[in-house]
Amino acid sequence: MSLQDCNLIDLPRINDRRGNLTFVEAGRHIPFAIRRVYYLYDVPGGSERGGHAHKALHQLIIAMSGSFDIHLDDGHSRKTVHMNRSYYGLSVCPMIWRAIDNFSSGAVCMVLASDYYDELDYYRDYNEFVGAAQKAAK
Ligand code: TYD
């Protein structure tokens, strides 16, 4: 998997004077069934989260509130996506190193994930990740 597979998905928006509504349907807007939802909140200014890659997990990351930057790296190239709208979801496929920083105050980062939490699915060492990613690309 490469950075080209990490797309910003424009989720449906039902605009309403009473407040807007967005929804995500597994298999329609995202290419996986959702097994887990988690969220980062109360993030102190200057903090960085992430700093790992997953071997098989697919994720969709949404800025439910506020904003933050997501830095993606497939072992060859890098890109940064600024998240600041709750109707955009960033699809992050397996074998992508990600770090999240520049959280605004009150930011909430929600992640929809294709599987349960499993520490064995993580690369937490960047050099180990790059070695595996480059081997897989050959
Ligand atoms: P981690 O994924 O390392 O978050 P970050 O990379 O942003 O720091 O998770 C931090 C801790 O939370 C780690 O000890 C594992 C635990 N955790 C769970 O128990 N379940 C989960 O679904 C997640 C995402 C993390």
Q: What is the CATH number of the domain that holds 98?
A: 2.60.120.10
- Mean residue pLDDT of the chain comes to 96
Nearest residue CA, atom 22 of ligand 1?
117
- Distance separating alpha carbons of residues 115 and 129, to the nearest angstrom: 20
Residue 11: its pLDDT value, please?
98
Q: What angle do CA 108, 113, 116 make, to 5 degrees?
A: 115
Residue 137: its pLDDT value, please?
81
Ligand 1 atom index nearest CA of 111: 24
**Number of domains the chain contains:** 1
Give the structural domain span for 33: 3-137
Residues of the chain with pLDDT under 50: none
- Distance separating alpha carbons of residues 34 and 124, to the nearest angstrom: 23
Tell me which H or E stretch contains 81: strand 78-83
Residue 102: its pLDDT value, please?
98
- The residues assigned a catalytic role are 52
